[in-house]
Amino acid sequence: MSIKGKAFIAGAFEHPLRLVEDRSTAAIHAECAKGALEDAGLTLQDVGAYYCAGDAPGGVLSMVDYLGLKVKHVDSTETGGSSYIVHVAHAAQAIAAGKCSVALITMGGRPRAEGKSGVKSKKVESNVADTPFEQPYAPTAVNEYAMAAKLHMHKYGTTSEEMAWVKVAASNHAQYNPNARLKDVVTVEDVLNSPMISEPLHLMDCCVVSDGGGAIVVVAPEIAQELDRPLIQISGAGESPQGPLGGDMDMTYTGAVHSGKEAFEEAGLTPSDISYAGIYDSFTITVIMQLEDLGFCKKGEGGKFVSEGNLISGKGSLPVNTDGGGLSNNHPTSRGGMTKLIEAVRQLRGEAHPGVQVESCDAALVNGIGGGLGSRHASATLIMERVD
């Protein structure tokens, strides 16, 4: 059963703060829920399903109680930063199956306020199957992505200068975002002159650490028709986990090869139909690899594609992350999938900042990566269209 046209995004809200010192993580979730429901013109009493991931304190049972929800359907699927894109797809599936009519998805966290940089070695979990094999090498997010970047450079000739263009595009967009963590426009030289974190990734190749969160409301078609909001249809979705499989892997590819194909087929669209893309940007190399795997350029040509300025709104062929993305705006609790969804909704509604709004934006793609490109991760793709 296809979910195309079976559900719509009616509400979206991004927490305005990037440092939250005076409230709990649960309170951030609640504020985001309130904002998204108000944006949709709905209330907590309308919610029939609730979705959250590993960032939700106490999990789905605690959050349902904390929010005062009376729901008949819940989903706590956990795939890292891609979780919320998966949640939208699962909400659309639940609505299509008649399990609910209004689904609420929230995320939020306080890593910056709590002093968590995200660069420490992964915590040892004795019951996790891969721990004995990987923990001795002290894996971190940054060194895993650095390995993927180095291999991509070796196989395809990608350069540090090309990767820097992803950050340049993000900074060009962030200057228009009053809430952005980093608002200064940077150059390729600025990126290359920033401190080396894990070769070949410089400081400016890495996403920001920020507090905050966001929420999305997904509704049935009949409810969407009644609300005084632009109709943002969910047209296609795909999800794909990818792991080392005992060494049978190529770190220059992401799961987007599979999740993107599935989403495009369900939507009945191709990459050339997409007006705007929200691409997970934990690191600059992450964007390049996803653009290739989603079919926006050929494999190995992602560096060339971004260095031609194609990601910059108003100049390039595929505006990407026009809020500044995780590299310049917001990467709340190290989970960027939610903010990618929110900016895509803004673009489709025509509510993005005038400095970055894509003209006649009628189809948007969002892709998220959760986990590590050097070990295991999950890719999730969602395609949305504005229906007039």
Q: Is the peptide bond before 200 cis (omega within 30 degrees of 0)?
A: yes
Which residues is 240 bridged to in the sheet?
379
| Domain 8-115+211-235 top-level CATH class | alpha beta
Compute the Cα dihedral for 79, 81, 84, 89 and give only its sign.
negative
pLDDT of residue 209: 95
CA distance linking residue 103 with residue 230, whole number of Å: 18
CA distance linking residue 353 with residue 178, whole number of Å: 10
- Token readout for 135 is 């923990």
pLDDT of residue 128: 74
- pLDDT mean across residues, the chain: 95
Find out whether 151 and 251 touch, Cβ atoms under 8 Å: yes
CA distance linking residue 167 with residue 179, whole number of Å: 17
CA distance linking residue 119 with residue 132, whole number of Å: 20
What are the residue ranges spanned by the domains of the chain?
8-115+211-235, 139-208+242-387
> What pLDDT, in 10s, does the model give residues 19-48?
999 999 999 999 999 999 999 999 999 999
CA distance linking residue 131 with residue 53, whole number of Å: 22
Classify residue 120 as exposed, middle or buried by CB count within 10 Å of its CB (0-12, 13-18, 19+).
Answer: exposed
Task: Indicate if the pLDDT at residue 288 is higher than 60.
Answer: yes
List Cα–Cα distances, 378 to 79, 84, 205, 248, 337, in angstroms.
6, 12, 21, 16, 12
Q: C-alpha 149: how far from its chain's center?
A: 20
Domains 8-115+211-235 and 139-208+242-387 share a fold: yes
The conformation of residue 121, written as its DSSP 8-state character, comes to P
| Ramachandran angles phi, psi of 153, nearest 5° | -65, -40
Classify residue 179 as exposed, middle or buried by CB count within 10 Å of its CB (0-12, 13-18, 19+).
Answer: middle
> What is the rounded average pLDDT of the residues 129-147?
81
Q: Rounded to 10 degrees, what is the CA torsion of 197, 203, 204, 210?
A: 120
**139-208+242-387 has which CATH code?**
3.40.47.10
- Token readout for 320 is 């990407």
pLDDT of residue 19: 96
Task: Indicate if the pLDDT at residue 355 is higher than 90.
Answer: yes
Amino acid, res. 233: Q
Q: What is the share, in percent, of the chain residues with pLDDT greater than 70?
A: 97
pLDDT of residue 245: 78
* Pair type for strands 212-219 and 102-109: antiparallel
CA distance linking residue 320 with residue 352, whole number of Å: 13
